[in-house]
A and B are shown apart, each in its own frame.
Chain A
Amino acid sequence: MHSNRYTFLFAIGLSVITAMVLVVISEGLKPLQEANVALDKKKNILQSVRIYETEREAVENAYDKSVEELVIDSEGEILTNEVVSNIEMKNEVAKTPAERKMPLYVYTKEDGKKCYIIPMQGVGLWGPIWGYISLESDFNTVYGAYFDHKTETPGLGAEISERFFQDRFTAKKIMDGQTFVSVNVIKSSAKVEYSDEHRVDAISGGTITSDGVDEMIDNCVKPYLTYFKKIAGASPQLSLKGN
């Protein structure tokens, strides 16, 4: 039997050595990992406007060529001294809409029409969910959507990151006349007062995740409406300067 002293020293020594090994490896791989995360984000933004590129080069090219980034506030003003990459969505959605700094991505289609991509962040059943939803230039019709999750149940809630679910959002409307009704994720048999163009079939067995998506769209899209009204009223030639 080893003495207590030996046992303690052994445990401390082992911990210190493993910690050092991990620190070295973690620091060494950090630049690569950060590049991957950034690329993944661009890929996801493009997926919300229905561009499904996977190669690094293609993603970077498509993004640089056609996506502009800007930050606005709930008054609809463009905050020129803010950069999208410095904004942590998780912190922003926790604030009241009036205090938020909101990133907006403007995508220019091949035919010159613009799409407005709104980043979203919410909660699912087990952890965070997030995504991007793109609106056509009438600020009403959904062009595409992308959702992802950290730890939703595979086969149930995790289905939100699958194409079949995301494709359901295309051509849905967020406005009913002048009122915001959002796109509601709800089971097909539920009776509601709004028409079919405002609803999307939820995932069976993924109710809480579906509700999370529903709430996330509602919470994240609404604050942008002021800005959309503003530019819809302004001259159509208004150029959007990104950072």
Chain B
Amino acid sequence: MAEVIEQGVKMKGLKEPLFSKKNIQILRDPLDDNNPITVQVLGICSALAVTVQMKPALILSLGVIFVTSFSNLIISLMRKAIPTRVRIIVQLVVVAMLVTIVDLVLKGYMFDVSKKLSVFVGLIITNCIIMGRLEAFALGNKPWKSFLDGLGSGAGYGLILLVVAAFREIFGSGTIFGMQVVPQIFYDWGYTNNGLMMLPPSALFLIGGYIWWQRSRNTKLVDIS
């Protein structure tokens, strides 16, 4: 689809507005129709690991959004200069640099969060979504479009993380962003937090449930796989 867009623009010979319909589409696609987690089934690992609470999930999502959008932008800017034989290594170097920046900034400004996320920040490097988008999109598209695609993919990832984290935090700890939302009276009546929600497998069930809900609503997805 990407090539078609680029050719289409060339044929018209017109300068495309920054937020043309197609660009908005690039940004919106990964949120639903082409969601990296629920449709492409990438980046599941970190979605299981950091979704016990909303706060780390949000921070990690922001980290991934930053890395996907800027790595897409940088690679797209260099796409004609990158020697094809070393392109994967070049991509890795750029991604690793951006991830290290995220890690350093977190250590400097949000030490507690950085402690909680520990290895997962470093593991952004191996998040399949990032390399996937670089290979599939940034190498063949213009910088602005690539940037939007990265932004969208990161946001699509973040969306799932936050939905899963919201369920897990409410049912697992009775809180949202650390604030009590399940009233004390429920506990007095005998309600207890669900311990399963604190464990990684619950995220798998929730993502499964999300995919079910998404496919029952969006018929376009049903015959893809």
Chain A interfacial positions (CB closer than 8 Å to B): 1-2, 6-7, 10-11, 14-15, 18, 21-22, 25-26, 29, 32-33, 36-37, 39-40, 54, 150-151, 154-155
Shortest distance between the CB of B83 and any CB in chain A (Å): 4
Shortest distance between the CB of A60 and any CB in chain B (Å): 15
Chain B interfacial positions (CB closer than 8 Å to A): 49, 81-86, 89-90, 93-94, 96-97, 100-101, 104-105, 107-109, 111-112, 115, 118-119, 198-200
B104 touches A26 (CB 8 A): yes
Shortest distance between the CB of B82 and any CB in chain A (Å): 7
Q: Given A2-B85, A11-B86, A36-B111 in contact, is the A18-B97 Cβ separation under 8 Å? A: yes
Q: Complex: how many Å from CA A14 to CA B83? A: 12
Q: Complex: how many Å from CA A151 to CA B121? A: 13
A25 touches B104 (CB 8 A): yes
- In the complex, the chain B residue whose C-beta lies closest to that of A1 is B84
Q: Complex: how many Å from CA A242 to CA B19? A: 64
B85 touches A7 (CB 8 A): yes
Shortest distance between the CB of B187 and any CB in chain A (Å): 18
- In the complex, the chain A residue whose C-beta lies closest to that of B94 is A18
Chain B residues lying within 8 Å of A10, measured Cβ to Cβ, are 81-83, 86, 90
> Counting chain A CB atoms within 10 Å of each CB, which of B83, B90, B119 scores highest?
B83
- In the complex, the chain B residue whose C-beta lies closest to that of A3 is B83
Query: Using a Cβ cutoff of 8 Å, how many contacts connect chains A and B?
Result: 61
- State which of B82, B97, B198, B199 has its C-beta within 8 Å of the C-beta of A22: B97
Known: A18-B97, A154-B49. 18 other contacts (CB 8 A): A6-B83, A7-B83, A7-B85, A7-B86, A11-B89, A14-B93, A18-B94, A22-B97, A22-B100, A22-B104, A26-B104, A29-B105, A29-B108, A33-B104, A33-B111, A40-B111, A155-B199, A155-B200
Chain B residues lying within 8 Å of A37, measured Cβ to Cβ, are 111
Q: Complex: how many Å from CA A16 to CA B89? A: 14
Chain A residues lying within 8 Å of B199, measured Cβ to Cβ, are 155
Q: List 28 A-B contacts (CB under 8 A).
A: A1-B85, A6-B83, A10-B81, A10-B90, A11-B83, A11-B89, A11-B90, A15-B93, A18-B94, A18-B96, A18-B97, A22-B97, A22-B100, A22-B101, A25-B101, A25-B104, A29-B107, A32-B108, A32-B109, A33-B104, A33-B107, A33-B108, A37-B111, A40-B111, A40-B115, A150-B118, A155-B199, A155-B200
B108 touches A21 (CB 8 A): no
Shortest distance between the CB of A28 and any CB in chain B (Å): 9
- State which of B86, B97, B111 has its C-beta within 8 Å of the C-beta of A21: B97
Q: Complex: how many Å from CA A26 to CA B108? A: 10
A36 touches B108 (CB 8 A): yes
Shortest distance between the CB of A91 and any CB in chain B (Å): 23
Shortest distance between the CB of B106 and any CB in chain A (Å): 10
Shortest distance between the CB of A165 and any CB in chain B (Å): 15
Shortest distance between the CB of A193 and any CB in chain B (Å): 35
Q: Complex: how many Å from CA A2 to CA B87? A: 12
